[in-house]
Structure formats: structure tokens, C-alpha cells
């Protein structure tokens, strides 16, 4: 895996959050988009409960 694009980040002051989100959609689920939105909401809530700034936690939705 090539992660050289992350090198500039190492020269920046933190704090940082590194997250993994399962973005797969199960065909058997009736409303997969709603399930995905719940995953994003849970991720944002978890980041904020750990002290992430609101604006940073909200930007996770755009990535």
C-alpha cells in the first residue's frame, strides 16, 4: 500500500483522527442509504465524544 500522500501530514501539528468506515452496501438491506447514513452519524458521534472539534467531525462525511 502506498501511503506517501500522507507524508505532508506528518509535518503538521495535530491532533489527528484516523478512522475506518465500512462503506459496503448489502443488497439484502431494504434501505442501504439509510444504513450508510447511520454509520456516518455513529462515526461523527464517536469522534466528538473523544474530543474531536465539531467542524472536523462534520467534514468526515465529505471524504
- pLDDT per position as a tens digit, 26-49: 777 788 888 888 888 888 888 889
62 part of a folded domain: no
Domain extent, residue 43, equals: 4-50
Distance CA 13, CA 18 (A): 15
Report d(CA 39, CA 37) in Å as an integer: 5
Residue 60 covered by a domain: no
What's the total number of domains in the chain?
1
Residue 32 domain flag: yes
Q: Is the pTM of this model over 0.75?
A: no
In a domain, 38, yes or no: yes
- Per-residue pLDDT tens for 11-24? 888 777 777 777 77
Residue 63 in any domain: the answer is: no
Amino acid at each position: 500500500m502506498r501511503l506517501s500522500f500522507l507524508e505532508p501530514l506528518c509535518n503538521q501539528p495535530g491532533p489527528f483522527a484516523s478512522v475506518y468506515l465500512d462503506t459496503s452496501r448489502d443488497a439484502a438491506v431494504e434501505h442501504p442509504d439509510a444504513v450508510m447514513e447511520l454509520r456516518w452519524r455513529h462515526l461523527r458521534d464517536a469522534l466528538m465524544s473523544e474530543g474531536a472539534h465539531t467542524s472536523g467531525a462534520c467534514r468526515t462525511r465529505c471524504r
